[in-house]
Every structure is written in structure tokens, then in C-alpha cells.
């Protein structure tokens, strides 16, 4: 993403301070602890429980780490095009490229089922903190505490799943100071209904990404089915009939992926100096491999277009997070806030005994993490989808033979069924791409670890990366989901006698990977978990619990007003329009000009329908909401609980929000609900969809 060119404007940090010091619109709030007091104080209004329940049950967690919502009585699901893009790609082919040309189902019978796509509704939230505290006895080491806690969590999950029939996830809040079980209703029959062309969904390309003003029609529609019929949710968001304007209060309900605002200063420095640079280096290598493959043919470019899009987006975002950690003024404020909390802890003998040494222990263990991180990053499936499937097959066969409490956590009884289901989902497979990326992945492991490393020797066996990749890809049958299904059914015996080259490689790498994971958990994770929790409890004791936890890919509520913001030496307006879209198109020379790979060109049908469009209709808008990656696809809701927009981005200044919040510059960027209906009606002629969404 981007780097912040200016000094951030004195954000007060949730890192250690109580809610009384939080900025007005700061916070990704859990639904058990909504910011009703803050809303009442500033806006003279706060949602009641009925409002909260309605928007919670209308919200969805969307398959690949995004957010979505139900928007019709017949189970229509609204999310971003960039969230649905991977699934749209899965349905596309050389002959039917739905990414480039878009897709519209002429009838419900022609809606396309998407293999492997799941959406989930949060039905219940249960606090299990006290039960876990009783299970973890005093005097246990950090490593023992981690293991006991993990076993008890999986036991609770299984109990609750068997009782409710729902899918249960463990949720860690406030750095492990609270533990919850979130129970979801899972929908697995999800079908593509409508997607615009990629060029209008991502108008402006990577150059405009994480900026404002924007003109992206970044939405798509799916539909949930149950028993072969459109699912009829009890709760869904009604499309607004109002006119959103500057100053209006908005809410975002979505699943922000991860923030690190409650990390210690040492953890942030580790991220700045070690973890993020290594992550970006790896992402750059992956991008280079994908770009090189795309250059081999037009069809190759189609096959990897979505992956390139994802890597570029990730690189820009990670660069933006990094910029916050390199902001000296911001880091000085974080250091001061931490020093204040440590001072409060030192004054209280009880807190000092529990958490006084926790910061130093975390800082010490980060040196071990530094020693392990390169190896942890390089020992893996080396960009190979088939090797990843092989490793899952090998591990399932081994883990299933053990009692649940002795297994790797992801293969416990509570998780095993879903692991098996994901493994047999069919999908497009391109052998040339698989061999190309596997070769590059093995080359990177060789370069980073050296020829004498045990993983490199196990994978290569004295051969070149290209030789190993070619032989493994050409000899493997794992691209066929029926083969994977048969190996699952055959269990440990079938895996033991398999001569599939990917299975053989997986069996070589598994013990190496397990040993590295064991060291990571025992030497690093257990210490960070234990002492992060102690610091969080000390923070509560010192300042109270009137704040929000770091984002954890769980449902959250953010809020704020539609607003202008400073940029480019001026004020940037809160809304863009259809007229502004065409102005930007014209200003870049139209479709005859191919500047920046045609980033500001438009699909032909948009040019043909230009005269039918109303220039003043709002297109995108900016608002003061606290969001992060994972919020993509979140509905934007007004006080009435009606849908007024669709989050698809934040501005560049918001990216340091992974570590701290800046009210002056942070903005969410959303598609206006009016733009979606106007485009569906005037450009695509999708009158039945318009009627369904508008509730006519």
C-alpha cells in the first residue's frame, strides 16, 4: 500500500489507555461490548439490542477472509468484487472469462454454484474465560499452560458443536485475557449471480489502490441456497431509500482480520525490523514469479491475474503498515504509553508480581523468534498447491490415529471434518503453472536456507529445483479430487503405500516442519501468549475494560460520519460521482490511451451507456470509520439499519491503523448503494435484480 508522507496527528492510543481517552470514531467493537455510551455522548443516539441483533444476523463471514451481508429475502449476498474474484476465477475459463467480461445470470436457474465457497452467520457468542482459567492450574510452565489451554478449547468446541449443530470457533480477545466461542451457521451452497467487469470494479488499478477520490464499482452478488432452493434468512439488510450526505453517521459490520495495537513496543520493533521486511521480500519474489509466468502467453496471464492482484494488494498494504512503525513521532507516543502502564503496574505489588517482568520476557523471547523466522518462512510447500494437498493428506492420516487431545490443533475432532471437506473441493488446475511456481518456490528455499539445510536436502535430493518440480507435477495424480478422496478414505495404509511423488515429498518434509513448529510453540508462542495475557489483565486493572480488543477476524462494529479529509494540500470531498468517473476516464485520454496498462480505461458497455447515466449520482464515498484488511465486503449501515454502502478500501493514511489510530486522516472508502442500483439498472439492464434489492 502506501507510506504516510506526513507526521500523523497525535493519535491517542488504545494500546494502554482507557476508553475515556479513545478518539471519537476509534474502535473495532465486539457485539458483546458495543460503544453505546460513546455514541450517545457524541451523536445523541445509540443502537438498541434489537438493532444490534439484526445487523449481526445480517452480516456474513465470506469464504476467503472477507466480509459480506444478506441483502434480500431470497438470500442474495453482497460483497466486494475483489473478495469474490478468486471464486469468479474458479468458474472462469479461456472461453468464458468472467473476470474480464463480467457475469450476469439471466435466471436463477443459471446462477453458478461455486465449489468450496462458504459463508457464515454468527449465531451465538459464549465467554469461556472462567472455564479455561480453572483448567490451567497455577504453577504450570508457559509451555504446559499453552497445551492445557489448547486441549480444553478443543474439548469445549466439540461439546458445543455437537449440542448446537453449528460451526464453533475459538476467539482470543485482549491478547488472551478473554476467550470466547463464536458459533456460526455455515452455508455451503453459494452461487454466483452477478459480477461487473474487472476494469470497472478496479478502475484506476494499483495506482489508485488505497487512495481517494475513487471510482470503483467494487461489488458482486451471490445467492445462498438450501435444499436446492434460495435460502430465506430471517434477517437481511434493506436497501436504503434515503440520500446519504456529508455528516451522516454510518456503521460498518464486518470481520477485520488483524490489528496489533496492543502489542508491546518490543513486538512492534520486531515487526518493523525483522518480520515485515522478510514478509515483503517473500511477497516480492512471489510477484516476480507470477509476472514472469504471465508474460509467457495471454492464457497464462488470465490464469494468474487474480493471484497477481492479491500479491500487489498485499504488498501495498504491508508497506503501509510498515510506514506506521517507521513514524518516529508515533513510535515515541507508543513508547510513552507503555512506560506509563509499566509505571502503574510497578506501583501495585499484586500487578507487579503478575506482570512486572512480562515486557522483559517478551523482549527476550523475540531474539529466539528472530533466530527461527527465516527457517519458519522457508520450510513449507514452496508455492505448490499439490504439495499442500499432499501434506494435508499425510497429516490427516497420522493425526486421525491419535486421541483428539494429542493431535495438532487443526486436526482435533472439532476441526477434522471441515479439514477433510476442504481437501476434496474441485478447482481449476494448470500443470504448467504448478510446475513453474513450484520450481521458483524450491529455488527460493535453496537460496534462503542453503544447500546443506535438511529441508533443502529432503526436497531436492541432489537434483535441481526444476528437475524435482517437473517430475513431481508430471507424476502426481493429486489434481484429481477423486484421487484425494480415495486417499482420505484409505487412511494411513493408503498413504503408506502411495507412490505419488507429492505424497513422498510430503512425508519427507512433515517431520522437519513438525519439529520447527514444536520449537516455535515451546520457545516463542507459549511465552508471547502467557505474558501478553498478563499485560492485558494488568491494563484492565489499571485503566478499566471500557475499550475494544485488537481485531481477530471476528465480527466487529465500527462507526463514523461521512466526511472530507486533508490531502494533496487541500480538502478531499466526501463523495465522487458518475460524472467524476468519466472525467477521470477522459482526463487519461480514454480507451485509446493505454497509460499504466490501461488503468483508467472503461468497458465498452459503459461507453455505450454513458448518456443514460446521471452524472450527479454518487459513486464512492469516504467516512471516518476504523477498519483494516478483512473489512472488505462489509456492509455500511445507517441508523435505521438500512444498507447505504459497501466498504472496499481505506485511504493510504489509514494503513498504520494496524498499530494505532489517527482520526484526522483515517478514512474508509465505500461504494455508494445508489451507484450499485444505478449501474445495475442503466448499464447492465438487470431490472429483476434492482427490484429484488430495492424490495419492489
CATH of the domain at 629: 2.40.10.120
Task: Give yes or no: residues 93 and 133 share one domain.
Answer: no
Number of domains in the chain: 3
Residue 5 cell numbers, joined: 508522507
> Could you give the C-alpha distances from 394 to 341, 370, 399, 420, 504, in angstroms and in order?
47, 29, 9, 12, 9
Asked if 523 and 473 sit in the same domain, the reply is yes
pLDDT of res. 22: 65
Distance between CA atoms of residues 2 and 321, nearest Å: 8
CA 689 to chain centre: 28
Q: Are residues 427 and 479 in the same domain?
A: yes
Predicted structure pTM score: 0.93
CA angle 322, 327, 331 (to 5 degrees): 100
- Give the pLDDT of residue 149: 93
* Domain presence at residue 490: yes
Tell whether 373 and 475 lie within a shared domain: yes
Q: Do 195 and 183 belong to one domain?
A: no
Q: How many residues does the chain have?
A: 696
pLDDT value of residue 596: 86
Whether 386 and 463 share a structural domain: yes
Residue 525 CA, chain-centre distance (Å), reads: 22
**Pick from 386, 387, 428: nearest CA to 87:** 428
Tell me whether residue 545 is in a domain: no
Q: How far is CA 457 from CA 383, 541, 696, in A?
A: 18, 52, 65
Q: Are residues 167 and 202 in the same domain?
A: no
- Chain centroid, CA 298 distance in Å: 29
Q: At what angle do helices 413-423 and 142-164 cross, to 10 degrees?
A: 70
408/557 same-domain check: no
The alpha carbon of 124 is separated from its chain's Cα centroid by a whole number of angstroms, namely: 21
How far is it, in rounded angstroms, from Cα 347 to Cα 267? 24
At 64 the pLDDT is 76
Going 546 to 550 to 556 to 559, the CA torsion angle's sign is positive
The torsion of the CA quartet 132, 136, 141, 145, rounded to 10 degrees, works out to -40
Is residue 77 located within the same domain as residue 137? no
SS3 category, 662: coil
- In a domain, residue 101? The reply is yes
- On the CB side of 666, CA atoms within 13 Å amount to 30
- 623 in Cβ contact with 668 (< 8 Å): yes
* 1 is a domain residue: no
Rounded Cα gap, residues 116 and 122, in angstroms: 19
d(CA 236, CA 223): 13
Omega within 30 of 0 (cis) for the link into 213: yes
- Interhelix angle for 298-325 vs 81-91, to 10°? 150
In a domain, 7, yes or no: no
| Segment 86-145, tens digit of pLDDT | 999 999 999 999 999 999 999 999 999 999 999 999 999 999 999 999 999 988 999 999
**Residue 128: count of CB within 10 angstroms of its CB:** 19
Same domain, 274 and 243: no
Provide the pLDDT for residue 19.
39
Q: Are 468 and 519 in contact (CB under 8 A)?
A: no
Distance of CA 565 to the CA centre of its chain: 26
Rounded Cα distance between 466 and 469, Å, is: 5
Q: Which three cell numbers stand for residue 520?
A: 516455535
Q: How many CB atoms lie within 10 A of CB 597?
A: 9
**Quick check: 123 and 163 in contact, CB under 8 A?**
no
DSSP lists the bridge partners of residue 185 as 121
Beta bridge pairs of residue 646: 635, 671
Residue 572's DSSP bridge partners are: 565
**What is the extent of the structural domain holding 152?**
120-187
* 12 in any annotated domain: no
| Non-local CB neighbours of 399 within 8 Å, separated by 6+ positions | 407, 408, 411, 416
Q: Are 423 and 386 in contact (CB under 8 A)?
A: no
pLDDT recorded at residue 133: 92
Q: How many CA atoms lie within 13 A of 19 on its CB side?
A: 19
Regarding whether 659 and 524 lie in a shared domain, the answer is no
Q: Helix (H, G, I), strand (E, B), or coil: what is residue 80?
A: coil
Residue 14's pLDDT is 37
Whether the Cβ atoms of residue 58 and residue 233 lie closer than 8 Å to each other? yes
3-state helix, strand and coil shares in percent for the chain, rounded to the nearest 5: 50, 15, 30
Residues 251 and 346 in one domain: no
| Torsional class of 625: left (φ above 0), alpha (ψ -120 to 50), beta (otherwise) | beta
In the chain, which residues have pLDDT < 70?
Answer: 1-23
Straight-line distance from the first to the last Cα atom of the chain, in angstroms, rounded to the nearest whole number: 41
Are 622 and 565 in contact, with CB atoms under 8 Å apart?
Answer: yes
Distance of CA 24 to the CA centre of its chain: 25
Instruction: Return phi, psi of residue 349, to 5°.
Output: -55, -40
Torsion of CA 259, 261, 262, 264, to 10 degrees: 110
Residue 503 lies in a domain: yes
Is 585 contained in some domain?
yes
The domain boundary, picked from 487, 511, 539, lies at 539
Q: Is 434 exposed, middle or buried (0-12, 13-18, 19+ CB in 10 A)?
A: buried
Amino acid at each position: 500500500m502506501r507510506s504516510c508522507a506526513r507526521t500523523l496527528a497525535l493519535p491517542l492510543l488504545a494500546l494502554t489507555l482507557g476508553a475515556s481517552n479513545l478518539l471519537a470514531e476509534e474502535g473495532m467493537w465486539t457485539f458483546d461490548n458495543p460503544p453505546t455510551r460513546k455514541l450517545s455522548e457524541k451523536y445523541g443516539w445509540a443502537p438498541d439490542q434489537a438493532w444490534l441483533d439484526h445487523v449481526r444476523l445480517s452480516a456474513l463471514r465470506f469464504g476467503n477472509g472477507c466480509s459480506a451481508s444478506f441483502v434480500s429475502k431470497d438470500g442474495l449476498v453482497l460483497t466486494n468484487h475483489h473478495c469474490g474474484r478468486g471464486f469468479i476465477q474458479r468458474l472462469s475459463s479461456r472461453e468464458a472469462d468472467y473476470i474480464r467480461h463480467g457475469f450476469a445470470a439471466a435466471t436463477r436457474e443459471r446462477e453458478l454454484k461455486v465449489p468450496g465457497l462458504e459463508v457464515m452467520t454468527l449465531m451465538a457468542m459464549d465467554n469461556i474465560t472462567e472455564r479455561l482459567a480453572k483448567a490451567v492450574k497455577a504453577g504450570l510452565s508457559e509451555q504446559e499452560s499453552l497445551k492445557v489451554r489448547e486441549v480444553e478449547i478443543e474439548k469445549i468446541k466439540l461439546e458445543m458443536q455437537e449440542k448446537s449443530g453449528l460451526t464453533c470457533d475459538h476467539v482470543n480477545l485482549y491478547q488472551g485475557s478473554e476467550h470466547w466461542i463464536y458459533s456460526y451457521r455455515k452455508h455451503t451452497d453459494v452461487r454466483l449471480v452477478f459480477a461487473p467487469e474487472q476494469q470497472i470494479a478496479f478502475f484506476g488499478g494499483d495506482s489508485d489502490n488505497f487512495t481517494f477520490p475513487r471510482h470503483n464499482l467494487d461489488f458482486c452478488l451471490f445467492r445462498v441456497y438450501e435444499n436446492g432452493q434460495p435460502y430465506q434468512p430471517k434477517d437481511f439488510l434493506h436497501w436504503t431509500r434515503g440520500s446519504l450526505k456529508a455528516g451522516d453517521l454510518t456503521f460498518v459490520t464486518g470481520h477485520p482480520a488483524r490489528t496489533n495495537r496492543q502489542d508491546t513496543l518490543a513486538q512492534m520493533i520486531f515487526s518493523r525490523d525483522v518480520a515485515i521486511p522478510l514478509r515483503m521480500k517473500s511477497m516480492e519474489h512471489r510477484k516476480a514469479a507470477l509476472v514472469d509466468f504471465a508474460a509467457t502467453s495471454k492464457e497464462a496471464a488470465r490464469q494468474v491475474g487474480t493471484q497477481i492482484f492479491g500479491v500487489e494488494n498485499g504488498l501495498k498494504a504491508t508497506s503501509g503498515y510498515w510506514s506506521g512503525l517507521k513514524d518516529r513521532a508515533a513510535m515515541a507516543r507508543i513508547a510513552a504509553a507503555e512506560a506509563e502502564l509499566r509505571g502503574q503496574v510497578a506501583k501495585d505489588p499484586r500487578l507487579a508480581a503478575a506482570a512486572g517482568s512480562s515486557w522483559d520476557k517478551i523482549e527476550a523471547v523475540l531474539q529466539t523468534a528472530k533466530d527461527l523466522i527465516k527457517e519458519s518462512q522457508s520450510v513449507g510447500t514452496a508455492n505448490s498447491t499439490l504439495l499442500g494437498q499432499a501434506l494435508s493428506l499425510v497429516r490427516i492420516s497420522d493425526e486421525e490415529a491419535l486421541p483428539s487431545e494429542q493431535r495438532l490443533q487443526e486436526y482435533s475432532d472439532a476441526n477434522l471434518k471441515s479439514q477433510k471437506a476442504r481437501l476434496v473441493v474441485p478447482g481449476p488446475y494448470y500443470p504448467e503453472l504448478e510446475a513453474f511456481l513450484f520450481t521458483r518456490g524450491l529455488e527460493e528455499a535453496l537460496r534462503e536456507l542453503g544447500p546443506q539445510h535438511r529441508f533443502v536436502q529432503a526436497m531436492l535430493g541432489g537434483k535441481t529445483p526444476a528437475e524435482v518440480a517437473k517430475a513431481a507435477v508430471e507424476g502426481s495424480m493429486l489434481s484429481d479430487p477423486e484421487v484425494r478422496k480415495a486417499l482420505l478414505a484409505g487412511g494411513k495404509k493408503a498413504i503408506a503405500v502411495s507412490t505419488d511423488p507429492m505424497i513422498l515429498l510430503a512425508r519427507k518434509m512433515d517431520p522437519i516442519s513438525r519439529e520447527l513448529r514444536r520449537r516455535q510453540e515451546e520457545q516463542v508462542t507459549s511465552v508471547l501468549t502467557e505474558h501478553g495475557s498478563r499485560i492485558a489483565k494488568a491494563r484492565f486493572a489499571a485503566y478499566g475494560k471500557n475499550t475494544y480488543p485488537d481485531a481477530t477476524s471476528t465480527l466487529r462494529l465500527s462507526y463514523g460520519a461521512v466526511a472530507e479529509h486533508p490531502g494533496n494540500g487541500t480538502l478531499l470531498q466526501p463523495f465522487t460521482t458518475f460524472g467524476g468517473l468519466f472525467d477521470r476516464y477522459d482526463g487519461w485520454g480514454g480507451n485509446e490511451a493505454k497509460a499504466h496498462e490501461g488503468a483508467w480505461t472503461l468497458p465498452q458497455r459503459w461507453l455505450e451507456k454513458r448518456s443514460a447515466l446521471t452524472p450527479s449520482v454518487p459513486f464512492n464515498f469516504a467516512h471516518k470509520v476504523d477498519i483494516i484488511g478483512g473489512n472488505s465486503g462489509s456492509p455500511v449501515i445507517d441508523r435505521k439499519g438500512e444498507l447505504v454502502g459497501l466498504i472496499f478500501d481505506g485511504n493510504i493514511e489509514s494503513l498504520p491503523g494496524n498499530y494505532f489510530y489517527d482520526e484526522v486522516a483515517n478514512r474508509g472508502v465505500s461504494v455508494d448503494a445508489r451507484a450499485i442500483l444505478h449501474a445495475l439498472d442503466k448499464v447492465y439492464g438487470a431490472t429483476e435484480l434492482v427490484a429484488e434489492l430495492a424490495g419492489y
